[in-house]
Amino acid sequence: MNTFWAIILLAGGLLVLWKSADLLVAGAVRLAERFGVSRLVVGLTVVAMGTSAPEVAASIAAAIRGEGDIAIGNVYGSNIANLALVGGLACLIRPLTVRMQTLRREIPVMLFVALLLWPVLHNLDLSRAEGCILLSIFAVLILLTVYIARKDAANSSRVVRDASRDVHDTQYAIPNTRKSVVFIGIGLVGLAVGADLTVRGAKVIGAQIGLSNAVVGQTMVAVGTSLPELATCVVAAIKGHHDISIGNLVGSNIFNSLLVTGVAGVVRPFGVGARLVGADYWIMIGVSAAFGLIAVAGRRTIRRTGATLLLCGYAGYMIYLLGYS
């Protein structure tokens, strides 16, 4: 494939991503209203799971090939890209408001599960048993999230329907649950296809750059698999669905740390390089903590100043990675 067709693939992939994200956000909002659960919960579960699918596929493929550095590098890089790059761009477009419960519950959980990777990986090896432990913790968190969502819905005397009355909220009319599910399904498939096209084009364009496996995982693979989160969060931010954006970012990072790492380890145990339990790991932890602190400093709103700091931090991270490639 020559550069011309690579650029066509890249542009086409980005277009598919954008339209698919539009469908996913529209369907997710209506589904939340239909079942009386918050958009945050939908973002943390349905949307996050769908947009994390590329990370799962990429890390499993790397684990099968015995490329542990790419598998774990993808997790680190995607977590950092989600908060610093995707979160930064979304908040730059439109400042995002973070719920108090998210600051007190979901963001600390996101940081906690990232910290769980340290005792698992500090010996430079991920065993099948450790992968099962991560998946068990993931299952417990999902069950707790569903339980809390059902409890909140049962205690609520009414369902929030403001989005359904917002004429410019979406160009699509979704009158029932079936269409909402169809829109979500089409959106998720489209995100996967668009991400694949975009990554293929980007890999050809950057083929002449010599990078280590760890750096490949933390740059091209990580950014490529984070494109669904990017498209979804930007579309949600433009439409003012703050909870969908925040839920997607936080939920995707939880999925990456537990589901992606756990599944990769269960499929095939692998070793990782010392660098991935050193500076690279603590950079991921630092970015996760900084995201929460910026929200606190902005009084539960990540404004454009905070977004700029996140983007500058991501630029510095890229410079650091390329300097060690």
pLDDT by position in tens, the chain (length 325):
666 777 777 677 767 766 776 777 677 777 766 766 677 777 777 777 777 777 777 777 778 777 777 788 878 888 998 899 989 988 988 888 888 888 888 899 999 999 999 999 888 888 999 999 999 999 998 888 877 777 766 665 444 444 444 434 444 444 467 777 887 788 778 766 776 676 666 666 555 555 555 555 556 666 666 777 777 788 888 888 888 888 888 888 998 899 989 988 898 888 888 878 888 899 999 999 999 999 999 888 999 999 999 999 999 988 887 776 5
pLDDT score, position 155: 64
Phi then psi for 15, rounded to 5 degrees?
-65, -45
Domains and CATH numbers, the chain: 3-323 (1.20.1420.30)
- Would you state the pLDDT for residue 152? 66
Nearest to 23 by CA among 248, 186, 250: 186
The sign of the dihedral angle between the CA atoms of 127, 128, 133, 139 is: positive
Nearest to 53 by CA among 306, 300, 238, 251: 251
Task: Please enumerate in sequence order all residues whose Cβ is within 8 A of that of 228, keeping only pairs 6 or more positions apart, or say none.
Answer: 17, 20, 21, 50, 51, 53, 54, 191, 192, 194, 195
SS3 state of residue 127: coil
Q: What pLDDT score does 36 carry?
A: 66
What is the C-alpha separation between 133 and 28, in angstroms, rounded? 30
Please tell me the predicted confidence (pLDDT) of residue 221: 61
Q: What are the φ/ψ torsions at residue 212 (nearest 5 degrees)?
A: -70, 165
CA dist., res. 316 & res. 294, Å (int) = 18
DSSP annotation of 98: -
